[in-house]
């Protein structure tokens, strides 16, 4: 069982889409299962994080991609899990009732192969205790030959609009870095009804077994995460903030965050909250250290809250 941690200092409280979070840290989708994986680790507490994004959920159950699904790379990791999940009905009916919503906020991650899929899964989560819904618009659109929704601003906006029509819960659009202009995508997603933006999703990459002369990942390509993508993610957050900041649309800044300094960079660039994912695989208790580091920075700079630091980059 998890051991109760000290309460998070008040300066770390943030308002995110009307939700009061105890910490600016958000645990990212795919890295903590359906919220239960890390509760088995001694010393971990959900109270150390502001929110947990659950594993990607689709309309019907999915087995995911063939192995290998994960490959360690220099300063990062490739993954191609393929959205393995039990389907929306089992998640809502069996998994959500087991989560302790008094400890932290839980955010659903909605995936689909068609706009209709996204709308159906969003509608299912709307009738649930989930706090917010993240739209994973980097999924391939099977009606368009496998083209990713997230790489085209107009398609991204159509998905967001369809989901917006199905729920009153906060909607977070998860933006892909694999596109020409992420600012235009952010702008159209906001206009379509997104309440927040998650910046960024993984970057496409691959690895090759030189002896076999074959791809290491069974799906050939996978999403690259970890410190290797941090400078790219930081730039994308700064760019999206140019669009989202004036409209008071909060950003979850994510991509290779492993320390309090990393988190502070993203907050200064414009992120209201910061996502931690890949780093949890080798240091599951780092959230406490990041919280402490942010709190110490605020104290040293005589700031009373994280919000004072958001978007404070001096150009």
Taking the mean position of all CA atoms in its chain, how far away is CA 103? 19
C-beta of residue 175 within 8 angstroms of C-beta of residue 201: yes
Residue whose structure tokens are 């995911």: 64
The number of domains in the chain is: 1
User: Exposed e or buried b for every residue in 40-66, given b needs 16+ CB within 10 A?
Assistant: eeeebbbbbbbbbbbbbbbbeebeebe
Return the pLDDT at 3. 40
Residues ≥6 apart with Cβ < 8 Å to 198: 134, 172, 173, 174, 175, 251, 252, 254, 275
Q: What is the mean pLDDT of each run of 10 residues along the chain (315 residues)?
A: 48 95 96 82 82 96 95 95 96 95 94 95 98 89 68 94 98 93 97 98 95 96 95 98 98 98 98 96 92 97 97 96
Q: Classify residue 193: in a domain, yes or no.
A: yes
Of 10, 15, 25, 14, nearest to 290 (Cα)? Answer: 25
Residues ≥6 apart with Cβ < 8 Å to 258: 227, 276, 279, 283, 286
Q: H or E segment at 156?
A: helix 153-164
Partnered with residue 71 across adjacent β-strands are 78
Partnered with residue 59 across adjacent β-strands are none
Q: Classify residue 4: in a domain, yes or no.
A: no
Return the pLDDT at 35. 84
Q: Classify residue 3: in a domain, yes or no.
A: no
Q: Classify residue 279: in a domain, yes or no.
A: yes
Return the pLDDT at 144. 65
| End-to-end alpha carbon distance in the chain | 47
Q: Classify residue 315: in a domain, yes or no.
A: no
Question: Structural domain of residue 275, as residue ranges?
Answer: 10-308
Q: Could you list the active site residues?
A: 139
Cα 165 to Cα 179: distance, rounded to the nearest angstrom: 26
Q: At what angle do helices 260-269 and 230-244 cross, to 10 degrees?
A: 30
DSSP-derived 3-state class of residue 107: strand
* Residue 304: count of CB within 10 angstroms of its CB: 10
Q: Specify the CATH number for the domain of residue 73.
A: 3.20.20.70
Q: Classify residue 314: in a domain, yes or no.
A: no
Cα 20 to Cα 255: distance, rounded to the nearest angstrom: 23
Q: Classify residue 37: in a domain, yes or no.
A: yes
Q: Classify residue 313: in a domain, yes or no.
A: no
Return the pLDDT at 1. 36
């Amino acid at each position: 069982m998890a051991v109760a941690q000290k309460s998070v200092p008040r300066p770390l409280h943030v308002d995110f889409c009307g939700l009061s979070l105890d910490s600016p840290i958000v645990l990212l989708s795919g890295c903590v299962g359906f919220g239960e994986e890390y509760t088995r680790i001694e010393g971990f507490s959900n109270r150390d994080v502001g929110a947990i994004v659950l594993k990607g959920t689709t309309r019907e159950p999915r087995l995911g991609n063939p192995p290998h699904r994960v490959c360690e790379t220099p300063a990062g990791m490739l993954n191609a899990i393929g959205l393995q999940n039990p389907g929306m009905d089992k998640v809502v009916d069996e998994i959500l009732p087991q989560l302790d919503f008094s400890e932290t906020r839980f955010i659903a991650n909605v995936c689909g192969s068609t706009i209709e899929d996204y709308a159906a899964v969003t509608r299912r989560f709307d009738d649930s205790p989930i706090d917010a819904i993240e739209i994973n618009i980097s999924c391939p659109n099977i009606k368009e030959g496998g083209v990713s929704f997230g790489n085209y601003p107009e398609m991204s906006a159509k998905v967001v609009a369809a989901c917006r029509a199905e729920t009153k819960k906060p909607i977070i659009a998860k933006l892909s870095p694999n596109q020409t202009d992420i600012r235009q995508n952010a702008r159209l997603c906001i206009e379509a009804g997104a309440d927040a933006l998650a910046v960024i999703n993984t970057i496409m990459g691959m690895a090759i077994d030189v002896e076999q002369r074959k791809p290491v990942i069974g799906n050939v390509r996978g999403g690259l995460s970890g410190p290797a993508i941090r400078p790219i993610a930081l730039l994308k957050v700064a760019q999206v903030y140019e669009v989202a900041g004036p409209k008071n649309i909060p950003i979850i800044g994510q991509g290779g965050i492993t320390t309090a300094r990393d988190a502070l960079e993203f907050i200064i660039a414009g992120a209201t909250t910061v996502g931690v994912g890949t780093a949890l695989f080798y240091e599951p208790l780092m959230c406490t250290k990041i919280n402490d580091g942010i709190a110490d920075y605020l104290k040293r700079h005589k700031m009373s809250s994280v919000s004072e630091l958001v978007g404070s980059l001096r150009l």
